[in-house]
Chains A and B, each alone.
Chain A
Amino acid sequence: AQSVSQHNHHVILSEAASLELGCNYSYGGTVNLFWYVQYPGQHLQLLLKYFSGDPLVKGIKGFEAEFIKSKFSFNLRKPSVQWSDTAEYFCAVNTRDDKIIFGKGTRLHILP
């Protein structure tokens, strides 16, 4: 069965620090990849997505992610985080069928 693994459950950073959240998936075929963000008390919002083409994708709010097919990875990055980036981040994969598989999430806490 397909699965998504997020390496860090909880990350604490200071403002202006660089961010990288790890995500690996297990599936050997064609995938669509996503990162979602959930701010406290809110629903999930799509941050960015990868379907094909350039493996470096840019999303909203200065986030980007790189798809490395050989490593089955789709890590999320941001060069300089802000306090407002405090949220939970979910990596997700779709294997071109009806469903999306979500990782368990990474809670990001930014210290002001």
Chain B
Amino acid sequence: DAGITQSPRHKVTETGTPVTLRCHQTENHRYMYWYRQDPGHGLRLIHYSYGVKDTDKGEVSDGYSVSRSKTEDFLLTLESATSSQTSVYFCAIRGGAGYYEQYFGPGTRLTVT
């Protein structure tokens, strides 16, 4: 258990509404990541953070923004949700001590109707 929680765990929202997903970690990891998982696509990186206020885009960043004002929290915002953003969203942290493996949170299932 890497001490990662995600909230909410499930959410149903309507097209056009803003949505914010939260990832919280308790072990002071520097790197945090947001992925989406869709059948047939595996995991695709949305955004990641390498420190407080330091973020960068992944391969599917359009329509998403992130913020990291504290080490322990990494927020993912869908400014105006669309049905194509229906997915399972996973947060991850990178292990320390020079290793590169990532450890994942429990996920958030988001449905946009």
Instruction: Please list the residues of chain A having a beta carbon within 8 angstroms of any beta carbon in chain B.
Output: 32, 34, 42-46, 49, 51, 90, 94, 96, 98-100, 102-105
Name A105's contact: one of B42, B45, B103 (CB within 8 Å): B42
- Tell me the dominant secondary structure on chain B's binding face: strand
B102 nearest in chain A by CB position: A100
Instruction: Please list the residues of chain B having a beta carbon within 8 angstroms of any beta carbon in chain A.
Output: 31, 33, 40-45, 48, 50, 56, 58, 90, 94, 99-107
Our count of residue pairs bridging A and B at CB distance below 8 angstroms stands at 45
Ordered by A's residue number, 17 sampled pairs between the chains whose C-beta atoms are within 8 Å are A32-B99, A32-B101, A42-B106, A43-B106, A44-B90, A45-B104, A51-B99, A90-B42, A90-B43, A94-B100, A98-B94, A99-B48, A100-B101, A100-B102, A102-B44, A103-B42, A104-B41
Point out the residues of chain B lying under 8 angstroms from A90, CB to CB. 42-43
- Across the interface, do A100 and B100 meet the contact criterion of CB distance under 8 Å? yes
Point out the residues of chain A lying under 8 angstroms from B106, CB to CB. 42-43
Point out the residues of chain B lying under 8 angstroms from A51, CB to CB. 99-100
Q: Which 7 A-B pairs have the closest CB atoms?
A: A104-B42, A94-B100, A43-B104, A102-B43, A44-B104, A102-B42, A32-B100
- A34 vs B103: C-alpha distance when bound (angstroms): 12
B100 nearest in chain A by CB position: A94
- A104 vs B38: C-alpha distance when bound (angstroms): 9
Shortest A82–chain B CB gap in Å is 23
A90 nearest in chain B by CB position: B42
- A100 vs B56: C-alpha distance when bound (angstroms): 14
